[in-house]
Amino acid sequence: MRFIISTENDYFDIDKYIGKTLNITSWKKWKDIPNLEVKELYFNIPINKLMAMVQNCPKSYLITYFSSSAVREFTRLIHIKNVFVTKEGIYKDSSEIKLPNSKIKFRSKKILFNGTIYDKLIYGVNTWGAWGHFLNGSPLSGLLYFPEEIVRQSMFYWQVQDMRFAHDVYEFGFQIAGIAVIDSTAVFVRDLYISAPIDIVNGQNHFTRMLREKVYKFYKLENVIPKYGLITNRRPGSNRCVRNMDEFIKEIKAKYPHIEWLYRNDSQLIDTPRAVKDLANTKYFICPAGSNSFKCVFLHENCGM
């Protein structure tokens, strides 16, 4: 993919803003920004035969194994020069920028520029702070879709930032300049890169396939043949935690004795290198609803959860 360099004048007199307050008095749609660069990516993956097997287990447990069906993805890659960024938003020429799908309730505000300057920043969009949304929302997609040269030179920041996930960026094999920590004061960015899918939560199907390929290559797992079943649970006492897990595992093993079943607790699957290797070997993955379900990205084709 070729990304054209913006024609906007690179010179911007940022010194006069240091220690000053920015007055934000209006908002603009992203497409109304002068000298904007945008590249539209549309992926239409061929329809695979939907394979589903539903089994009624004792006490009405329902297990479904499936492979991928029709998936598509529409994503915009946006490049804007000379902007101010806070954890609340992006600003240019006294205006707040409304990104695709964002729901800005605009109010005028004053923002202090803290003097921090980034030459390049990749900005990830996500609407919820959970790990699954960090993985499948949008933040990581820009690291795959923008040219590697830009990624290596860029700092990385995502909305609803949880620094517990920062290590994942490196453990997935991405090479970046570093993680940017941005608060309610503004930083200045000379070149801002944004990946904005149309459907933030569910529209990243092509990206997740590419992420799996990247992770498998990084950990040299391409030729692993999945063979066993893996069962996991959520943290004890948390929402959607299965409280009779011992009984559940016993019934699963009795129902499918020909499958070797393993159990991993939530803390074991939080460790990305271990989770990737465990799931690459997994044919059938059983887990409660929640972020663990997003780990299906680490399964081989024709495996299911």
Region 217-234 average pLDDT: 92
Task: Report pLDDT for 203.
Answer: 59
Q: What would the pLDDT profile of 81-112 be if each residue is shown by its tens digit?
A: 999 999 989 999 899 999 877 776 788 999 99
What is the pLDDT of the chain when averaged over all its residues?
Answer: 81
Residue 52 — pLDDT band, cuts 50, 70, 90? very low
The domain ranges of the chain are 15-42+72-203, 220-298
- φ/ψ of 86, rounded to 5, equals -125, 175
Task: Give which of 282, 127, 273, 260 is closest to 196, Cα–Cα.
Answer: 127
Quick one: the chain helix, strand, coil %, rounded to 5?
Answer: 25, 35, 40
Q: How far apart are CA 117 and CA 66, in angstroms?
A: 47
Q: For tokens 């499948």, name the residue.
A: 136
The model's pLDDT over 250-290, given as tens digits with 9 standing for 90+, comes to 999 999 999 999 998 877 777 888 889 999 999 999 988 77
Specify the DSSP element, H or E, that contains 110: strand 109-124
